[in-house]
Structure 1
Amino acid sequence: MQCTMLRKVGYLVTKEIVAQQREAILAKVRQMSKSRIVYEGLPQFQDGKGEGLVIDPKDVPGLRESGWMPNMNVPASPSTKNFERSAMESILSDLQAHPQAWAFKEPVNAQEVPDYYDVIQNPMDFPTMEHKLETGQYQNLDVFIADAQLVFDNAKVYNPEDTIYHKGAVKMERLLMDHVSRVRKIS
């Protein structure tokens, strides 16, 4: 039994066709590449005593031919999304996904809870933390953790211990501390 999709294609010889294409590509790469050229090493390093020696990159044989340019000597800028930033994003995402997070997903509504802002001088919630994270306002993990802790401290200060808000804050605080201890072990 045979199935033909394109009559031009010899399906029985595809292996040979692919091998020919591969060889053609490799031949073109070999033609353009100068990787087979081996340059003499610098004499300063021949005896193994060149440690700490500063040399001009222009003096390195073959460096220019490889495509090097002086502007490539500038050190790469550090990644804007470093380990701490990734950790903060992960922690906040996990906190927001927790079943107890519903109470912290929006700022407290002053019309629904009129005295809240009289009692709580420094309010904090997950959307505010998310905004601060997105706009680069957290200089480090400790500042981020302080804001997360503030969310739960505020809930515990304002609400009596037997309320769902206080109990939820305690559970969320434990989750935060678990994440923080894991991150600190890694870093």
Structure 2
Amino acid sequence: MKYSAVEAYNDSELTELIKKLDQNEITDFFSDSKNIIHKRYVSDAVLLFTYALNQLDTIPSAGSRESHVLTGDAYFSEFYSALANHGEMQVVHDMVEISKDLSSRKSRQYENALELSDSELKYLLFAPLLYLMDNGYVTTDLDNVLGCFIQNMNRSELAYIINTKGEG
């Protein structure tokens, strides 16, 4: 049996998913067109990728584990679909490399229970978004937005910071 997509990928699906993300200063930044320098679909896809990674970092309640995992999987799927559709394989490769680095760093953090500076936490949570800024996809104003988010966040929700496996 031959498998193929039913219809061509549509960037509006990506846009709709972005609108459904938690509304905060980060999603507000990405919603404002003046902050996107070029290739909105790259910025939107990487934002979803970041949310998928961060979804994996939180511990779901017992009743929401399945939806927790499926949401992350849906975000990853849209990321890959959008970038593959546009031939942005270098961005996909770069995100895979960033993801591998983040996994290693988070594992070390979990095992050693190190004290994290704000800049280290910003990298652990938002390395893909920092990539967008460093590579000219979004304005450098993003750095301040991420800094404010870090200052106001509840760090105890992150398993690798509170050294929790999530069983229970």
Q: Taking structure 1 as the reference length, what is the TM-score of the superposition?
A: 0.29
Which one has more relative contact order, counting CA pairs under 8 Å at least 6 apart?
2
**Bigger helix fraction:** 2
User: Radius of gyration: which is bigger?
Assistant: 1
Q: Taking structure 2 as the reference length, what is the TM-score of the superposition?
A: 0.31
